[in-house]
A and B are shown apart, each in its own frame.
Chain A
Amino acid sequence: MSRRPYVRRVPRSWWLHKPRYVLYMIRELTSLFVGLYCALLVVGLVRLAQGQAAWDGFLAALSSPLGVAFQLVCLVFAIYHSVTWFALTPKAMPLVIKDQPVPGIVIVGAHYVVWAAVSIVVLIGAGI
């Protein structure tokens, strides 16, 4: 089955005209930084498999000024992804318990609780 989606010609800067659209584009571009950080993690796994010397080199690269700067940018976008993703959850998966719709704030709040719990478990696992 061949699919040729219609692509409407729009100026490439359409999203700059309204603050809402700019926020939308920032939200979508979080995926670029999530992807780049995944690539960094994959490099880490490959270096780990190569042995102790390679792993220590990877850790040194993480702590270099460039490594820290790159990761701080990724961190800002990753947190923005989390916040916007949680904000969407009541719309993406509305929940009904005993014929009563669960208020959106409860669904979003539950995600923040799980986020905190997961973060604490990972930090403890990493040896903090």
Chain B
Amino acid sequence: MARSNKPMLWLPFAGGGLVAALVTPVLILITGVLVPLGVLHLRYETIAAFTHNPIGKVVLFGAVALPAWHAAHRLRMTAHDLGLGGGIAIKGACYGMAGLLILAAAGALIKM
């Protein structure tokens, strides 16, 4: 039987969907509502100190990378639903964009 690489795509997809469901709304609430209203201040020192901590790095990386992968996989499937699927271009665009975002996030966090 041919080996499938689907579990490799599926596990982060499901994990990313869960992280996106649990964490993304409150992050948007903070950056998109509470910071603009002046309720929260996300000072540079506070956020920088959080990213200096290895656990902080991992938490932030997970909060960005997993939903990004989830979005890439789901967008590819949705493109298929819209009759755009099958080609290497859609695959490359979705996973490529997510890969770039994940690398940029990792780079920035390592630099902190």
Among residues of B, the one whose C-beta sits closest to the C-beta of A128 is B40
By the criterion CB–CB under 8 Å, are B25 and A45 in contact? Answer: no
Q: Which residues of B contact A10 (CB under 8 A)?
A: 83
B35 at the interface (CB under 8 A from A): yes
Q: Which residues of A contact B82 (CB under 8 A)?
A: 12
**Contacts across chains A and B counted by CB atoms under 8 Å:** 166
Tally of A interface residues using CB under 8 Å: 56
By the criterion CB–CB under 8 Å, are A41 and B27 in contact? Answer: yes
By the criterion CB–CB under 8 Å, are A7 and B104 in contact? Answer: no
B21 at the interface (CB under 8 A from A): yes
Chain A interface, DSSP helix/strand/loop, else mixed: helix
**Distance of A49 from chain B, by nearest CB (Å):** 4
Say whether, besides A35-B97, A78-B24, A127 and B41 are in contact (CB < 8 Å): yes
By the criterion CB–CB under 8 Å, are A49 and B108 in contact? Answer: yes
By the criterion CB–CB under 8 Å, are A78 and B20 in contact? Answer: yes
**Distance of A17 from chain B, by nearest CB (Å):** 14
Partner of B22, one of A5, A40, A115, A128: A115
Report how far A31 CA is from B28 CA in the complex, Å. 14
Tally of B interface residues using CB under 8 Å: 58
Partner of B101, one of A39, A119, A123: A39
**Distance of B67 from chain A, by nearest CB (Å):** 5
By the criterion CB–CB under 8 Å, are B74 and A55 in contact? Answer: no
B58 at the interface (CB under 8 A from A): no
Chain A residues with a Cβ under 8 A of chain B = 1, 4-5, 7, 9-10, 12, 15, 25, 28-29, 31-32, 34-35, 37-42, 44-46, 48-49, 52, 55-56, 59, 62-63, 67-68, 70-72, 74-75, 78-79, 81-82, 85-86, 92, 111, 114-115, 118-119, 122-123, 126-128
Chain B residues with a Cβ under 8 A of chain A = 2, 14, 17-18, 20-36, 39-42, 44, 46-48, 51, 60, 63-64, 67-68, 70-72, 74-75, 77-78, 80-83, 85-86, 97-98, 101, 104-105, 107-109, 111-112
